[in-house]
Amino acid sequence: MASSPWRLSVAPMMDWTDRHCRYFHRLLSRHALLYTEMVTTGALIHGDVARHLRFNAEEQPVALQLGGSEPADLAHCAKLGEQWGYEEINLNCGCPSERVQRGAFGRSSWPTASRPWSMW
């Protein structure tokens, strides 16, 4: 297993790790990988892409965390994240949030643990 170049990662936290929080975290350390809040595929496909994906260049490296259950939608949104310059695309595969579980995306929407691998 390859070792991570990051000394610290700040996990995605809904309603918390927005771009303002990430900017603050970046001021604390240049040696951390920062994550967005989880962004659902529906929010990107049907909503304001710029509102969900914009970030300050000073925040880099930033990882985009996506939540969704449809492979084609996840692939489309991952490409959007790549186009917007995210360092990494992260798929939510186990968020404990009740909101995520009610939304039937991420791990809660997959009947078996092998579902994420079937997307590749």
Q: Which residues are known catalytic residues?
A: 95
In DSSP notation, 55-98 reads --GGG-SEEEEEE-S-HHHHHHHHHHHHHTT-SEEEE-S----H
How many angstroms separate the CA atoms of 103 and 82, rounded? 25
